Chain A
Amino acid sequence: MAHLQIESLGKRYGPFVALAGIDLAVERGEFVVLLGPSGCGKTTLLRAIAGLERQDEGRIVHAGRDISALPPGQRDYGIVFQSYALFPNLDVGRNVAYGLDARRSARNGLRQRVEEMLQLVGLPGTERKLPSQLSGGQQQRIALARALATRPDLLLLDEPLSALDAIERVRLRGEIRALQRRLGVTTLMVTHDQEEALAMADRIVVMRSGRIQQVGDPRTIYHQPHNAFVADFIGRGNLIEGTAADAEHLRLAGLTLRCGTALQAGRRYRFNLRPEDIRLLDTVERAPNSFYAQVEHCEFLGAFSLVTLRPGGSTGRDAVPTLVAQFSSNYLAGRPVEPGAMLRIAIPPEHLLPMPEAA
């Protein structure tokens, strides 16, 4: 059995289904990110694990112990909230020691542990300050120290970075990840920021409407999304729908494209093609799945440009849907891409993988 095992967990608020049939296994030392749009149930799931929300059905087993019905204080975890939730009337030292006091640790060991934790989060010597005297990022570090002070077996992070500004967010996310690796603590984090999830997670759990859509490591989630929702939620993508002509080829309006995996002739498939996977070719270069496309629109975004292309320059009813390609500025080497220009592009077959969920 996995370190943290969640079995067919369900939760409703009246007619609203917050969680439905959630099954999840988290291994020891893993960093798992729950990702999804707001209202998808990711926070409810985290709160159910924390015992702050009681599930209607299903069970949660942590380290071989069924914690489904235990009150929060008897579960072995530390939690960090989006809004820090530091006790405003207690100074930093007493905030960090809060959980230790409750567990009746030895008094002198307490101070040492607080110092150690503040050292760990990079804020030594702040014991006597009040939370209101610290910046948002510092408060969140203190909250992290408080959560970790009791040496919990599980660390729960509820959107810990979304209250911070962009620079602080990126810095703290690196720190949290490094700290988690160093301590080896099993961690569950909730976020709606896909970049954060890709950067931090060992595994990502994508959720929608109270259900898990896909579980996988960041690369798999990004390159092989299970369905259109996952593809759309994470990164940009071109959704292509077409019928398989034979075991290898896909018919798409006027185009025939070779596919990376075996197909079933006559079946309809959905593909997700990342904009950066579309290649720009010279007129003489030979590549599979190459064709001409007309530039409809070009959006310059500094490091790269997003180019909307109409394959074959075709218009009318049976036209191929437009594709969005991402060309790095480095790659374009200063060549302007003007609307109306014809470009020769290619879709490498290895990037053309059908999504398992039926079209």
Chain B
Amino acid sequence: MNPFSPSHPLGHALGDAPAAATLALSPAGASPVAYPPAPRPFTRLRGGEPGSHALLLLAALALALFLLAPLATLFSHSLLDDAGQPSLQRFREFLATPGMAAATGNTLWVALLVTAITLPLAFLYAYAIQRSALPFKPLWRVLGLSPLLGPSLVGAIGFIQWFGTQGVLKSWLGGGSVYGAPGIVMATVFAAFPHALMILVVALATADARLYEAADALGASRWRRFTTVTLPAARYGLISAALVVFAYSISEFGIPKVIGGNFQVLAVEIYIQAVGLQNFGRGAVVAMLLLAPVLLAFVIDRQVQRRQQASLTARAVPTWRGRTGGATCRWPCSWRWWRARCWPCWPWRPGPRSSASGPTTWRPRCATTPTAWPRRGWATPT
């Protein structure tokens, strides 16, 4: 017999218990006290806030119109044959096309190489900005981010100017040509660098001084301290940065178009199929293929977020969406609001929000109740 069913003698007792408790708690004659609901893992706008639903609807509409609808069209195109019947013909054709396999392979290895080069470079740069006594840090930061100022193909044109057939530095390539894979890799590293840098600068911004002290006290070498304290604290930033750079490189069109020569990559292939040959169906197949790594990156990122929360020390209470419970931060004027709202559709979030730092240097961004207030600063005397 189910104890929760009303026919069970205990069922009534269980069902009535909360009501009785409420009555007992509230003063005689007064209406039962309404307690605020427990914080949920995902903040929702409280009902009764004017305009909130309209705003949500607007955002959802824009999302559907500009992202989901084109994606759905692409998807359906890739699954239709020439006669308009649903089939996997396009995919079969695609696989049969000579050069397509090469383009896929090229895109993948270039993206991997670009990630492997960009990540250490950006990490070193971010480390120098955040953790060293480097002079003119703001200047270095702006310099590092400067590739963002122009479109990526400007960087590619720059590389052509330096290393192309008429380039001044052509001899540096040792007889090789900049057109093709070397040029694509160089220009993409240059273009993706600021994206990785932004994430890693944030990831290295916070650190638990006490962990460094503990490592020092236990006689750890600088290298060991770096591998056991610095790197683990920044590892989610590193993963995010790697995913961003990888996705950036996979989907980059301008650079291979400008500097790629005869080197085939998928993004250019879509262009050739859809615009050059007017073969939208095959273009759609390529687009689907390009979407796969991005989706993969997104899934990995979500997993990482989950693990990151678990790995915080028990002392630190993670500021998470919906933890505020206060009066502020509920409106679209706040960054927090946008972050919470746009989170599921925004793969380029600027890195982990808390980078697994301890309670020492870590403040909730805009929580009204300090959940993880710093206990004591780095060198506050007591």
Listed in ascending order, the chain A residues whose CB lies under 8 Å from chain B are: 11, 13, 16, 18, 38-44, 50-53, 71-74, 77-79, 81-90, 98-99, 101-103, 130-132, 134-136, 139, 146, 150, 163, 190
B78 CB to closest chain A CB (Å) equals 42
Per-residue interface assignment for chain B, residues 263 to 274, with 1 indicating a CB less than 8 Å from any chain A CB and 0 otherwise = 000000000000
Chain A residues contacting B217 (CB-CB under 8 Å) are 50-52, 72-73, 77-79
A10 CB to closest chain B CB (Å) equals 12
Cα-based distance from A13 to B221 in the complex (angstroms): 28
A347 CB to closest chain B CB (Å) equals 37
B359 — nearest CB in chain A belongs to which residue?
A83
Contact A44 B381 (CB under 8 A): yes
Cα-based distance from A41 to B380 in the complex (angstroms): 10
Task: Tell whether B232 is near chain A: CB-to-CB under 8 Å.
Answer: yes
A149 CB to closest chain B CB (Å) equals 9
> Taking A38-B382, A87-B229, A135-B314 as contacts, is the C-beta distance between A81 and B210 under 8 angstroms?
yes
Contact A81 B311 (CB under 8 A): no
Chain A residues contacting B216 (CB-CB under 8 Å) are 51-52, 71-73
Which of A77, A81, A85, A89 contacts B232 (CB under 8 A)?
A89
Task: Tell whether B19 is near chain A: CB-to-CB under 8 Å.
Answer: no
Task: Tell whether B92 is near chain A: CB-to-CB under 8 Å.
Answer: no
Task: Tell whether B219 is near chain A: CB-to-CB under 8 Å.
Answer: yes
Chain B interface SS verdict (over half): loop
A sample of 15 cross-chain residue pairs with beta-carbon separation below 8 angstroms, ordered by A number, consists of A13-B379, A39-B382, A51-B217, A73-B219, A73-B220, A78-B217, A81-B210, A83-B210, A83-B315, A83-B358, A85-B211, A85-B214, A88-B232, A98-B220, A163-B315
Contact B382 A40 (CB under 8 A): yes
Chain B residues contacting A87 (CB-CB under 8 Å) are 211, 214-215, 228-229, 232
Chain A residues contacting B214 (CB-CB under 8 Å) are 79, 81, 85-87
A94 — nearest CB in chain B belongs to which residue?
B228
Which of A11, A18, A85, A90 contacts B213 (CB under 8 A)?
A85
Per-residue interface assignment for chain B, residues 349 to 382, with 1 indicating a CB less than 8 Å from any chain A CB and 0 otherwise = 0000000101110000000000000011001011
Task: Tell whether B53 is near chain A: CB-to-CB under 8 Å.
Answer: no
> Taking A13-B379, A85-B210, A85-B213 as contacts, is the C-beta distance between A132 and B312 under 8 angstroms?
yes
Chain B residues contacting A132 (CB-CB under 8 Å) are 310-314
Contact B312 A88 (CB under 8 A): yes
Contact A102 B228 (CB under 8 A): no
Task: Tell whether B224 is near chain A: CB-to-CB under 8 Å.
Answer: yes
> Taking A83-B375, A86-B313, A132-B311 as contacts, is the C-beta distance between A102 and B382 under 8 angstroms?
no
Listed in ascending order, the chain B residues whose CB lies under 8 Å from chain A are: 208, 210-211, 213-221, 224, 228-229, 232, 235, 310-315, 356, 358-360, 375-376, 379, 381-382
Contact B359 A41 (CB under 8 A): no
Contact A16 B381 (CB under 8 A): yes
Chain A residues contacting B311 (CB-CB under 8 Å) are 88-89, 130, 132
Contact B314 A150 (CB under 8 A): no
Contact B218 A84 (CB under 8 A): no
Contact A102 B314 (CB under 8 A): no
Cα-based distance from A52 to B382 in the complex (angstroms): 14
Chain A residues contacting B381 (CB-CB under 8 Å) are 11, 13, 16, 18, 39, 41, 43-44
- Output the residue of A71, A99, A190 with the most chain B CB within 10 A: A99
Contact B218 A98 (CB under 8 A): yes
Q: How many A-B residue pairs have CB under 8 A?
A: 111
Chain A residues contacting B210 (CB-CB under 8 Å) are 81, 83, 85
A42 — nearest CB in chain B belongs to which residue?
B382
Cα-based distance from A42 to B376 in the complex (angstroms): 14
Chain B residues contacting A51 (CB-CB under 8 Å) are 216-217
Cα-based distance from A91 to B71 in the complex (angstroms): 44
> Taking A71-B216, A79-B214, A87-B211 as contacts, is the C-beta distance between A102 and B224 under 8 angstroms?
yes
Chain B residues contacting A16 (CB-CB under 8 Å) are 381
A39 — nearest CB in chain B belongs to which residue?
B382
Chain B residues contacting A135 (CB-CB under 8 Å) are 314
Cα-based distance from A51 to B221 in the complex (angstroms): 15
Which of A39, A42, A99 contacts B218 (CB under 8 A)?
A99
Chain A residues contacting B375 (CB-CB under 8 Å) are 82-83
A36 — nearest CB in chain B belongs to which residue?
B382
Contact A74 B219 (CB under 8 A): yes
Contact B218 A150 (CB under 8 A): yes
Chain A residues contacting B220 (CB-CB under 8 Å) are 73, 98, 102
Which of A72, A83, A102, A136 contacts B221 (CB under 8 A)?
A102
Cα-based distance from A271 to B135 in the complex (angstroms): 60
A248 CB to closest chain B CB (Å) equals 44
A163 — nearest CB in chain B belongs to which residue?
B315
A67 CB to closest chain B CB (Å) equals 13
B221 — nearest CB in chain A belongs to which residue?
A102
Chain A residues contacting B314 (CB-CB under 8 Å) are 131-132, 134-136, 139
> Taking A73-B218, A78-B217 as contacts, is the C-beta distance between A136 and B229 under 8 angstroms?
no
Contact A88 B313 (CB under 8 A): yes
Chain B residues contacting A102 (CB-CB under 8 Å) are 218-221, 224
Cα-based distance from A86 to B220 in the complex (angstroms): 14
Contact A103 B315 (CB under 8 A): no
Cα-based distance from A74 to B375 in the complex (angstroms): 28
Cα-based distance from A42 to B375 in the complex (angstroms): 16
Chain B residues contacting A44 (CB-CB under 8 Å) are 381-382
B228 — nearest CB in chain A belongs to which residue?
A87
Chain A residues contacting B215 (CB-CB under 8 Å) are 87, 98
Which of A53, A89, A130 contacts B379 (CB under 8 A)?
A53
Which of B213, B221, B235, B379 contacts A81 (CB under 8 A)?
B213
Chain B residues contacting A90 (CB-CB under 8 Å) are 228
Cα-based distance from A139 to B229 in the complex (angstroms): 18
A72 — nearest CB in chain B belongs to which residue?
B216
Chain A residues contacting B229 (CB-CB under 8 Å) are 87
Chain A residues contacting B224 (CB-CB under 8 Å) are 101-102
- Output the residue of B208, B314, B358, B375 with the most chain A CB within 10 A: B314
Cα-based distance from A190 to B382 in the complex (angstroms): 10
Chain A residues contacting B312 (CB-CB under 8 Å) are 88, 132
